[in-house]
Amino acid sequence: MPESSQSVTVVALLADPDAPTEIARRMARTLPARLADKSGPGRRFEVEVVSEPFTSGTEDPPTLMRRIMDRGRAEDWDIVVALTDLPLHAHGRKLVVNLSHEHGLVLLSLPSLGGLRLQKRARLAVEEAVLGLTGPRAAGAQAPPREPPLPAPFNGRLTPVHPSPVDEDETADLRYVVSGPRGYLRILGGMVRANRPWRLVPGLSKALAAALATGAVATVNSTVWSLAEALSTPRLMIATVGSVVIMIGWLIVDANLWHRPAASTREAKQKARLYNASTVLTVGLGVLVCYVGLLVINLVWALFILNDQVFASMTRSPLDATDYWTLSWFVASTATVGGALGSGLESDEAIRAAAYSKREQERRQLLQDDGEDRPAK
């Protein structure tokens, strides 16, 4: 069939900056061909990626849908798919996707897809949404049926996704949400994935410098040798847990990462619990990565610096592989506590930048500014 006789559908991927934009750009490489293959002959797709902070200042899905609709009207787009890494809520439920068949709009909250295989799940969700908006049902009806089938990425016996009612005055005419314990864990994993906890390691340069210095000094200290020799495995595990908890608590308190609900409503408290859980997990995973790194570095340092005769003369026991491991383990816990103290040298902005995604940083800054501007009672 000649290209001129094919129907061309222009799909815009309107993505928040940072991670959503990266996902959209990778998706756009294969999306036109995949959509054309699934839609059958006679249709061709063009995909544009627009990086724009369309969620700036609001988390309200109806408001976001209106923004997306206004943005689409200003361009020559047939379908607008908006991607954000903010968790969105609708009527107290955690939103997965909003669709408007009438206006050709899709609003997708990436954290609702979970923390694993995010790129693939996002691509499948966008494909199903676009094909649903361009299919026969969308072309011949103003609204979808009351109980539509779940799209392929959300369909499964263990997938906690289901349709949710939409108000008549909303732009969307179809909505999917997650609920239940599995849904909570799913979106929590997605939020942690969006924050990318591994970025916490290079973001805590001063804390890591303090930890490395503490570890280097402790490794050559004979008192530390004796303590490590005397500690049992359960005590070493307790030291590990204690040092990691101290580091997590210090970072959260010192950088003011704990989220307080803006209102006393049940929904606001649920959101606060979700945000705080994601903060603890994000910081916790970052600290664990730091701890493992310190353990490896201390082990290498011990293998290089320790002397068998000096160690035996101080501890009255020969130096063996178990002693290297035990000493490095204990020193890693000690160094982590030193790193917690060193993290006080980091600016709050640097810690937030390391712990949160760009959208989450802006969201928290906006809430903080609103709290400062609100008059005291």
Q: Tell me the pLDDT tens digit for each residue of 60-87.
A: 899 999 999 999 988 989 999 999 988 8
Judged against a pLDDT cut of 90, whether residue 220 lies above it is answered with no
Q: How far apart are CA 165 and CA 147, in angstroms?
A: 10
- Please check the confidence at residue 265 and state whether its pLDDT lies above 80: no
What's the pTM value of the predicted model, to 2 decimals?
Answer: 0.79
For 306, the 3-state DSSP assignment is: coil
Which segment of 163-172, 262-271, 296-305 scores lowest on mean pLDDT?
A: 262-271
Whether 151 has a pLDDT exceeding 60, the answer reads no
The pLDDT of residue 344: 64
Share above pLDDT 90 across residues of the chain, in percent, rounded to a whole number: 26
Mean pLDDT of the chain: 81
Closest CA to 199 of 350, 338, 339, 347: 350
Q: Is the pLDDT of residue 229 over 70?
A: yes
* CA–CA distance, 130 with 232 (Å, rounded to integer): 59
Instruction: Reduce the DSSP state of residue 150 to 3 states and report it.
Output: coil
Residues 6+ apart with CB under 8 A from 135: 39
pLDDT over 70 percentage in the chain: 82
Asked if pLDDT for residue 204 goes beyond 80, the answer is no
pLDDT tops 70 at residue 244 = yes
Q: What is the pLDDT of residue 346?
A: 60
Per-residue pLDDT, 374: 46
Please compute the mean of the pLDDT values over residues 181-203 and round it to a whole number: 83
Q: What is the mean pLDDT of residues 241-254?
A: 89
- The amino acid at 182: R
Which token pair is 374? 């609100």
Question: Is residue 57 a contact partner of residue 28, using CB atoms and an 8 Å limit?
Answer: no
- Residue 86 CA, chain-centre distance (Å), reads 9
Q: What average pLDDT does the segment 319-337 reach?
A: 89
Residue 58: strand, helix, or coil:
coil
Greater pLDDT, 9 or 262: 9
Whether 102 has a pLDDT exceeding 70, the answer reads yes
Over 70: is that where the pLDDT of 252 sits?
yes
Angle at 153 between CA 148 and CA 155, to 5 degrees: 50
What integer pLDDT is reported at residue 322 of this predicted model? 86
* pLDDT on residue 352: 67
Tell me which range, 53-57, 192-196, 232-236, 371-375, is most confidently predicted by mean pLDDT: 232-236
Name the nearest CA neighbour of 146 among 164, 159, 131, 158: 164
Pair of tokens at residue 349: 């902005």
Backbone angles phi, psi at 220, to 5 degrees: -100, 15
pLDDT of amino acid 157: 46
Burial class (CB in 10 A: 0-12, 13-18, 19+), 70: exposed
CA distance 5 to 270: 52
Top pLDDT among 367 and 306 is at 306
| 253-263: pLDDT as tens digits | 887 888 777 77
Strands 7-15 and 43-51: parallel
Tokens of 115: 């923390």
Check residue 357 and give its pLDDT.
59
pLDDT value at residue 195? 78
Beta bridge partners of 89: 94
